[in-house]
Structure 1
Amino acid sequence: MKVYTTQPFQVIYSLFEHEYLGYLFESFVVQVNSKGQLTLQHQNISAKNADEFAARLDASDFKLITLIDQIQQDAVLKRFATKKMSPVDFFLKTYDAEKGDKTLQETINHYVQVRMGKILELLRDKMTFIMGKDGEPTWKQIHIAPERATVLFHFMRNDDNTHYFPTIKYAGQKLEFQYRNAALICHEPAWLMLNDVVYSFEKAVDGKKLQPFLNKKFIVVPRSVEENYYRKFVAPLLESFDVHAKGFEIKDEQYEPKPYLTFSEVTSSEAPVLKLAGSSEARAERGALSNSKILFDLSFMYGDHMVETQEAKRISVSMEKTKDSYIFHKLMRDVHHEKEFLKELNKRSLEVKNGQAVLEKSEAFAWLNNNLQDLEELGFTVRQSEKNRKNYFIGEISLDVGITEKNDWFDIYGTVRFGEFTVPFIKLKNHILTKNNEFLLPNGQVAIIPEEWFTQYIELFAFSEGEDELTLKKHHMALVNDLQNGNLATVTMTRKLEQLRGFDMIEDQPLPAGFMGELRPYQKAGYNWLHFVQNYKFGGCLADDMGLGKTVQTLAMLQHRKENGAETASLLVMPTSLVYNWLNEAQKFTPELRILNYTGTYREKNVELFNNYDIILTSYGIVRLDAALLKSYYFDYIILDESQAIKNPDSNTSRAVRSLKSRHRLILTGTPVENSTMDLWSQMSFINPGLLGNQHFFRNEFLKPIEKEKDEQKTKKLHALIKPFILRRHKSQVAKELPEKIEHTTFCKMTEEQEHAYEETKSYYRNKILTSLEENGPGNTQFMLLQGLTKLRQIANHPLMTDTGYEGESGKLKEVLRMTKNVVGKGHKVLIFSQFVKHLEIIRKSLDEREIAYTYLDGNTKDRQKQVERFQTDESIQVFLISLKAGGVGLNLTAADYVFILDPWWNPAVEAQAVDRAHRIGQRNTVFTYKFITKNTVEEKILALQNRKIQLVTDLISTDETIIKSLTKEDIDNLLS
């Protein structure tokens, strides 16, 4: 029957008994007549149609309706049936007397009972009825008792047995419920219906404790099972309910709680699921030191009885068996006092939940060392669990480290105190380097090395030498400074060494008499700095920008060595292409220097010859071939030009160079880092061996944290270590006399045929790469991404680069040729750079067709210097085509005042080097740089990412490879969109 919402109606709740699920409620709306009486017109109400009747429902009605929906048989079937079946089949099978699923029955029963308890609490002010047998929902009204009843459990111990029964009181009066047709309509907790009134209880009584007594006066417990029954049933009952006893004693006892903090070692899998302190990164770092954790358990001693904090009960009961009977000690816990102790732990950053806390081992012992004394003063007993496999030391730990300067090194001494034991600091070396935080004391106890020592002293141990005594080389001055500034060591050093703290104290050095020419102020400062590192017997890295005159500063220093008694020749190693440039510069500025050009197939392999010269010029290739011969000579200086050539420490070239012997070492480079932080390690280890530790240490402590985790602290630390040995000046800082450099970006529109080729390739790679990203992650996509980006860049230049059959034109080629013609027509000279030799070939062919003269240089060009000289001196040649890789270093092309960069890529430093071929000392004209970008292509996206994402070369990392690795899915999506 439909209930009309336009007329008065009432929501009511009706109790009925289900064959399997027990007592349940159903919700109804009932039409009300003009006298305000309920009629027989009613309909079921559920969450599906409740909104229709919202006008007469309150918030608790909506909660009730939702809960009641959840306990109906269809809802139970839907939740618990593993396959589709009818309600009849499901309940018959599940509740079969012999084959029924007892576990599932219990699960369903708990599910229903918990919801029935919530429903009954919400029904206190609602109209509630018992449903008639014909389904009439308003058959008989029942009421929820406004107050809660109490239960008293009685135990009467006789000579032969114990009688057990409950009594119930309501509003101070005994409630007679036995043999009165009472029913427990909910068990979790108990709700008792008696004479149309439903009673709840003050203490959440389990209905199973009352059920046997609805039709029974008492239960008899035989003497034979008495002790077990008292221990397992009576003792727990005493903790939660009121009990009256005859024949045995119940003693109420009160004590002041004494806190016990017990710690034990557990594996990660054994540890409770508790929130660990610190960030995920910090936890990962701590986890590297130990895969075990420390579990803290808080408990309280009351008299002779220990109570675990996680026990929620306020009363703890223990049973004592006497000669003739039993005594139950009913311990009243002082919860307020316990909470005060808990607050003290939380105040000290030990987050105890449910009586337990878990910390990483190193953090746990650091916490104990910092707080043990305070805790003991507060009354805590801190102890180890008997389960611990190791006996841990938990006393005071302290460390004193001293560093003293000697002739060419620092002596390091230190003492560690673990309570009564004193240990030399050097004994911790292997522990710190291997990140083993357990140190065995003479008495067999295990001390945990404080976690911060692994960070604070790992470089000290990694860089130091000696097994019995620790020494550091002088070039580790920055590390010594750090330790002193952080109050981690007491340092004693001479006033002379203090100069290393800043370059402003570098003494001015006179130029050698045989130096022909003048040094600009910043070049003179560089010359002074070369003397500074030489005087301290340090290796140096002169890393000035391209074009600032590293060659001339070095030649001045070598001339000074000649005039001040250098006993042997110096070796200058460089790419073959730069040999001629060094010869020219030396002839110009230091004509007195005797120079041997030790290159070519017919070089005389005789180191005795070297004694007749001041400088030996050679290439990296020759050093690699003649390493065995060259290492037999003790050079005055070994100088590496474009030292990034040894950036791979495992290459034969690097090994060969490092095997040579000399009094001093120097490297020259405009780009100390090209591909990876390891480039820096390789070069710095050449000039100052051991400065950055061994390769394995450097990879773990610097390369990974800096490149993968973007760890700023590690970056700063690395900067501090290398800073005294690198002199780097930018043109913008020092070469004020250089003319202006003006940069333009020229956007080129693709031709229709070019756009079609580009879109087709983009779609192919986009689908392929994004699918691979989803399935295999970024690590396995890098090669495919690089391949796809390269093809798209080539098509953005000219589709001919990827498709030899392409017959259309290129928008970029048109623009490059138009601007080249314009620049040449006005009498200017232009350098045209491309990363792709194929692209240069296309430009070359176009220039030939237009009869524009040019010089050309790529990696295969033999007469490199001849090409440079022709461009510099021949006025009829106004264009120089250069591959970026072959022409990025060592060229002086100041005749040009225009530079065209035809294809952008990640590393702006590479493009800057190309521009520096023209914008360098000797240039008198404004240099105009044009970067050609094809619109609506990956080139535009690269340009945007360059500006947003890439650090400049002044930072440690500025590389193509690392940028490709660090691209996110979103970045890749944008590049290919």
Structure 2
Amino acid sequence: MNVSTSEPFQIVYSIYQHEYLGYLFESFVVQLNEKGTLTLKCQNISSKNADEFSAGLDETDFQLIEWTDSLQQDVIYRKFNNKKISITDFFLKTYDSKKGDKDLQQAIEGYVDTQKSKILERLTEKQVFIMGSDGNPTWKQLELLSEKATVLFHFRRNETETVYFPTIKYAGEKVNFQFQNAFIVCDEPAWMVLNDKLYSFAKEVDGKKLRPFLNRSNIIIPKSVEETYYQKFVAPLIASFDVYAKGFEIQSEGYAPKPLLLLTEFHTAKQTALSLFDEGSNVAVAEEDDGESQILFDLSFRYGHSTFKASETGAPVSVSLEKSNGSYIFHRIRRKPQLETENIEFLKRTGLELKHGRVLLPKAEAFTWLHEYSELIKESGFELQQSSNNGKKYFIGNSSINVQINENRDWFDIYATVRFGEYEMPFIKLRNLILRKKREFTLPNGEIAVIPEVWLTQYSELIAFSENHDGGDTVSIRKHHLALVAELNRENLAQVTISNKLEQLRTFEHLEDQPMPQGFVGELRPYQKAGYNWMHFLKKYGFGGCLADDMGLGKTSQALAMLQSQKESNPDQPSLVIVPTSLVYNWELEAKKFTPDLRVFTYIGTQRDKNVEQFNNYDVIITSYGIVRIDIEQLKKYFFNYVILDESQAIKNPGSNVAKAVRELHCRHRLVLTGTPIENSTLDLWSQMSFVNPGLLGNEQFFRNEFLTPIEKRNDDQKLRRLHAIIRPFVLRRHKSQVAKDLPEKIEHIQYCKMEPDQEEAYEEAKSYFRNKILENIDEKAMAKSQLLLIQGLTKLRQIANHPKMVDPSYAGSSGKLQDVLHRLETGISENHKILIFSQFVKHLNIIRHHLDKKDITYAYLDGQTKDRRGQVELFQESEDIPVFLISLKAGGLGLNLTAADYVFILDPWWNPAIEAQAVDRAHRIGQQQTVFTYKFITKNTVEEKILALQQHKMRLAGDLITTEESFVKSLSKEDILTLLD
């Protein structure tokens, strides 16, 4: 019977009883007569047709309709059934009295109760009825009581039994509900219909606790089962509801919670550790869990004699049962959730974040926390306890370290003690434990002390760099670790006694000015004089140094001034200068120019006399790295005054034969010169600094772990600053922009070149081939094993971007870059510019060379195979008829002075921008009078362009880390490779 929306109507909610689901709700609209009273004309309303009646509904009605819909049996069927079975069969089988699915019944009951409780809470001021047996939704109207009724549970114990029953009060009056046809509409929480009234209850009484008494007076508990019943039923009841007892005692006790933090060690993987607990998902596990030994922190609260887990977050009242001489006492303790929460928040502020009262941490992290906060949490009222399930007890008291460092003649002596509670140990024992990678040791009382992680961080370098000479308790550290000692003092990690004289080494602003040697011809610029003074300062204290000025700032002249000074003060002590073969001639020329009085001997050539005694007749011996590597057995027998390495990045690989050879040389002072102290990675720096100041950066493994990996793999700025702090006194680096302000301007242009159609086709074909092959290789063999193929592929693509003929000699097409280079070259020559042309590919130089020959343009040429380097340099520098100098980047990027040029062409971008800068500096150096224009040729839409973009994104400035092809490729992810080869 449809209800008309054009006439007055009323929405009502009706309670009816379902055969299986109990009491449910349904919503109806009922037509009103002219008097505004309900008629028999009604219609079921659901979410499907509710909008038709929206004029008579409010927001609550729409919500109630949605919830009543959710209680329909077809909805229950769809929600809880996953089998092909009819609705009738589903309910018959689920609720079969013998074979029914009890778990499914419980799940459905929980869902239905949740929906009903939401409906009942929102029925205020709505019309609610009991449905008649004929389906009339308005058979009997219910009154919704505004107050909540209260329940008092009664227990009367005598010698044979305990009688149990509840009483109900409403508005202070007792409600007679037993044997009155009352029924429970909802269990959790309880809602009851009695005498056409709908009751709700305070303290959210469970309807199942009332239902047994609707048609009975009481329940009798035999004495034989009373203790079990009291423990499992009565105690929880007393915790949550009002109870009146006769025959046993209920004591309400008030205590402040005492927080207890229990530590338990587990030697297990994360997954197994979680299974140790019933509430495994409630344990907070640190992300760094590596499956090794872990510590579980478990928080509890003690109230008097009762202890409650922090994870037990149920009712705020807990009850424990005590039986004594046949009598029972229920101890009713009201927990104080706010105080418990304050303690949990306090732990959180210290960094210990609990989940349901627990957290599982790696042992190192756990003891780092204990070292920092154990005393504080004890002072804050916490009690720390340990579980002794494995018989192992850790020391968790106060630990401290006291370090004193005193300057000695050649060393800093370290006097330090370590305390764990009442026990004291010398620093050397701690040092030896850590060097053996031991973190734990046994104290005299049997407890296990764990060395705090913070000590490993704060004193790692002191431990790594310290030395034990006599096997006793004395530990020392070399004086070139002054920066480390000063920092420990500044951070209040050590008490340091140091002379004012040595303190000056930390800064270079107030170096004592040294007189220039009389035999030095010419004048040093102010910054060069400062470098000369710095060398004297290092010599005074017996330290080695690295002069790392930019290319073209005159490192050679500064070193020669120092060597001239040494000749005048120590005439009988020759020094050894080791240079790349290509720079022997340059050093000879510079020595003649600045220090003509120096007796210079060039120890080179296949016919050289290997008798080192001949060195006694000279002041300076110039040789090459290759000669030192070959003749080290003879050279290491001679004691030199200075050993100076020029372009010292030649020993960047510490495992190379040349690096090993120079470390065997014997001398009084050591100095290295380089414009790129870091070329491949920070290990380059370690190798060079280990030559000038052995032990300054620890052994190679320590340096890799402590600096190289954090800096290069994790971009750790703090480690980078630490490394700079250690080497700072021994590295002097000035940039052109800082000191050579009189140099002419250097202007850089990026010339973007467009590929020719044939070139572009060749490039795309190669890119597609290598892209598929590289990605397939990565999937099969992982990134690390695909680097060689990646380098090969990228090299091929870069060569095609220059000119496909470099890859395919039969290629007959042209190259966009070649045309742009030749156009710019011819323009420059016509305007009387002298031009340096650099390429890393000799094949590329040959292509340019071929076109110069066709145009009858004369040129100088230099690559790794050129014998007469000096002649080629002089030809270009001195002849106005030679406008072009073709140079291989590797062969000509160092040491050459080519100030006749004012144009520099970089034909192909090198992975390492510092190498490009060195090439440009062949022209842009002291002596240059003209503006230097650099043209860097980049082929658009190729890997050249994308490599530059990736370098900008992934790499740090050259002052921090400078990369080469190998180290750059190692840093690429699969996504980066996709970008490069897209």
Normalising to structure 1: TM-score of the pair?
A: 0.90
Could you say what secondary structure the match of 1:147 adopts?
coil
Change (3 A) 1:349 1:676: closer
In the other structure, the counterpart of 2:249 is: 250
Q: CA deviation at 1:151?
A: 2.2
User: What is the CA–CA distance in structure 1 between the aligned matches of 2:583 and 2:242, rounded to whole Å?
Assistant: 99
Q: Deviations over 1:770-826 (max 9, x none)?
A: 898899987677666655544443333223334444433222211111111111122
In the other structure, the counterpart of 2:456 is: 454
In the other structure, the counterpart of 1:261 is: 260
In the alignment, residue 422 of structure 1 is paired with which amino acid?
Answer: E
Residues 253 and 331, structure 2, Cα contact 8 Å, conserved in 1: no
In the alignment, residue 412 of structure 1 is paired with which amino acid?
Answer: I
Residues 132 and 139, structure 1, Cα contact 8 Å, conserved in 2: yes
User: What is the CA–CA distance in structure 1 between the aligned matches of 2:894 and 2:684, rounded to whole Å?
Assistant: 17
Q: CA deviation at 1:481?
A: 0.9
Q: Deviations over 1:728-773 (max 9, x none)?
A: 1112222233222222222333333334444555566667778988
Over the residues paired in the alignment, what is the CA RMSD in angstroms?
Answer: 3.5
Q: CA deviation at 1:597?
A: 3.3
In the other structure, the counterpart of 2:170 is: 170
Q: Are 1:160 and 2:160 an aligned pair?
A: yes
% identity of equivalent residues: 60
Q: CA deviation at 1:500?
A: 0.3
Residues 368 and 454, structure 2, Cα contact 8 Å, conserved in 1: no
User: What is the CA–CA distance in structure 2 between the aligned matches of 1:624 and 1:34, rounded to whole Å?
Assistant: 117
1:562 corresponds, among 543, 547, 567, to: 567
User: What is the CA–CA distance in structure 2 between the aligned matches of 1:31 and 1:920, rounded to whole Å?
Assistant: 102
Residues 538 and 664, structure 1, Cα contact 8 Å, conserved in 2: yes
User: What is the CA–CA distance in structure 1 between the aligned matches of 2:913 and 2:624, rounded to whole Å?
Assistant: 27
Could you say what secondary structure the match of 1:626 adopts?
helix
Residues 567 and 573, structure 2, Cα contact 8 Å, conserved in 1: no
Could you say what secondary structure the match of 1:859 adopts?
coil
In the other structure, the counterpart of 2:150 is: 150
In the other structure, the counterpart of 1:390 is: 392
In the other structure, the counterpart of 2:549 is: 544
Residues 905 and 942, structure 1, Cα contact 8 Å, conserved in 2: no
Between 1:701-710 and 1:577-586, the stretch displaced more is: 577-586
In the alignment, residue 159 of structure 2 is paired with which amino acid?
Answer: D
In the other structure, the counterpart of 1:514 is: 519
Change (3 A) 1:445 1:546: same
Q: Deviations over 1:151-198 (max 9, x none)?
A: 222223343332323233333333333344433332223322334433
In the alignment, residue 581 of structure 1 is paired with which amino acid?
Answer: N
In the other structure, the counterpart of 2:429 is: 427
Q: CA deviation at 1:411?
A: 0.3
User: What is the CA–CA distance in structure 1 between the aligned matches of 2:134 and 2:660, rounded to whole Å?
Assistant: 99
Between 1:516-525 and 1:910-919, the stretch displaced more is: 516-525
Residues 895 and 923, structure 1, Cα contact 8 Å, conserved in 2: yes
Change (3 A) 1:367 1:546: closer
Q: CA deviation at 1:627?
A: 3.2
2:332 corresponds, among 325, 330, 333, to: 330
Change (3 A) 1:102 1:815: same
User: What is the CA–CA distance in structure 2 between the aligned matches of 1:162 and 1:7, rounded to whole Å?
Assistant: 62
Could you say what secondary structure the match of 2:184 adopts?
strand
Q: CA deviation at 1:643?
A: 1.3
Normalising to structure 2: TM-score of the pair?
A: 0.90
In the other structure, the counterpart of 1:210 is: 210
Residues 871 and 878, structure 1, Cα contact 8 Å, conserved in 2: yes
In the other structure, the counterpart of 2:235 is: 235
1:402 corresponds, among 399, 404, 413, to: 404
Q: CA deviation at 1:207?
A: 2.9
2:730 corresponds, among 701, 725, 734, to: 725
In the alignment, residue 910 of structure 1 is paired with which amino acid?
Answer: I
Q: Are 1:464 and 2:469 an aligned pair?
A: no
1:845 corresponds, among 841, 845, 850, to: 850
Change (3 A) 1:108 1:762: farther
User: What is the CA–CA distance in structure 2 between the aligned matches of 1:276 and 1:336, rounded to whole Å?
Assistant: 22
Q: Are 1:653 and 2:655 an aligned pair?
A: no
User: What is the CA–CA distance in structure 2 between the aligned matches of 1:28 and 1:765, rounded to whole Å?
Assistant: 72
2:898 corresponds, among 893, 902, 907, to: 893
User: What is the CA–CA distance in structure 2 between the aligned matches of 1:832 and 1:4, rounded to whole Å?
Assistant: 95
Change (3 A) 1:539 1:344: closer
Q: CA deviation at 1:216?
A: 3.1
In the other structure, the counterpart of 1:574 is: 579
Residues 572 and 616, structure 1, Cα contact 8 Å, conserved in 2: yes
In the alignment, residue 927 of structure 2 is paired with which amino acid?
Answer: G
In the other structure, the counterpart of 1:904 is: 909
User: What is the CA–CA distance in structure 1 between the aligned matches of 2:23 and 2:291, rounded to whole Å?
Assistant: 58
Could you say what secondary structure the match of 1:505 adopts?
coil
User: What is the CA–CA distance in structure 2 between the aligned matches of 1:847 and 1:78, rounded to whole Å?
Assistant: 85
Could you say what secondary structure the match of 1:453 adopts?
helix
In the alignment, residue 259 of structure 1 is paired with which amino acid?
Answer: K
Change (3 A) 1:561 1:382: same
2:637 corresponds, among 632, 649, 664, to: 632
User: What is the CA–CA distance in structure 2 between the aligned matches of 1:536 and 1:13, rounded to whole Å?
Assistant: 97
Residues 27 and 68, structure 1, Cα contact 8 Å, conserved in 2: yes
Between 1:487-496 and 1:795-804, the stretch displaced more is: 795-804
In the other structure, the counterpart of 1:696 is: 701
Between 1:151-160 and 1:918-927, the stretch displaced more is: 151-160
Q: CA deviation at 1:370?
A: 6.1
In the alignment, residue 252 of structure 2 is paired with which amino acid?
Answer: E
Residues 644 and 683, structure 1, Cα contact 8 Å, conserved in 2: yes
Could you say what secondary structure the match of 1:732 adopts?
helix
In the other structure, the counterpart of 1:529 is: 534
Q: CA deviation at 1:859?
A: 2.9
User: What is the CA–CA distance in structure 2 between the aligned matches of 1:187 and 1:973, rounded to whole Å?
Assistant: 61
User: What is the CA–CA distance in structure 1 between the aligned matches of 2:455 and 2:917, rounded to whole Å?
Assistant: 43
Residues 252 and 332, structure 1, Cα contact 8 Å, conserved in 2: no
Q: CA deviation at 1:850?
A: 1.7
Could you say what secondary structure the match of 2:734 adopts?
coil
Q: Are 1:191 and 2:191 an aligned pair?
A: yes
In the other structure, the counterpart of 2:745 is: 740
Could you say what secondary structure the match of 2:321 adopts?
strand
Between 1:23-32 and 1:632-641, the stretch displaced more is: 23-32
Residues 898 and 928, structure 1, Cα contact 8 Å, conserved in 2: yes
Q: Deviations over 1:394-450 (max 9, x none)?
A: 443333211111111100111223332222222221455577554532222234444
Change (3 A) 1:195 1:706: same
Between 1:697-706 and 1:557-566, the stretch displaced more is: 557-566
Q: CA deviation at 1:3?
A: 6.2
Residues 754 and 798, structure 1, Cα contact 8 Å, conserved in 2: yes
Residues 368 and 452, structure 2, Cα contact 8 Å, conserved in 1: yes
2:420 corresponds, among 388, 411, 418, to: 418
In the other structure, the counterpart of 1:317 is: 319
Residues 29 and 45, structure 1, Cα contact 8 Å, conserved in 2: no
Corresponding residue pairs, total:
968
Q: Are 1:643 and 2:645 an aligned pair?
A: no
2:684 corresponds, among 662, 668, 679, to: 679
Residues 149 and 170, structure 2, Cα contact 8 Å, conserved in 1: yes
Between 1:449-458 and 1:492-501, the stretch displaced more is: 449-458
Residues 264 and 294, structure 1, Cα contact 8 Å, conserved in 2: yes
Residues 262 and 385, structure 1, Cα contact 8 Å, conserved in 2: no
Q: CA deviation at 1:541?
A: 0.7
Between 1:268-277 and 1:233-242, the stretch displaced more is: 268-277
User: What is the CA–CA distance in structure 2 between the aligned matches of 1:388 and 1:433, rounded to whole Å?
Assistant: 28
Q: CA deviation at 1:464?
A: 0.8
User: What is the CA–CA distance in structure 1 between the aligned matches of 2:796 and 2:92, rounded to whole Å?
Assistant: 69
In the other structure, the counterpart of 1:666 is: 671
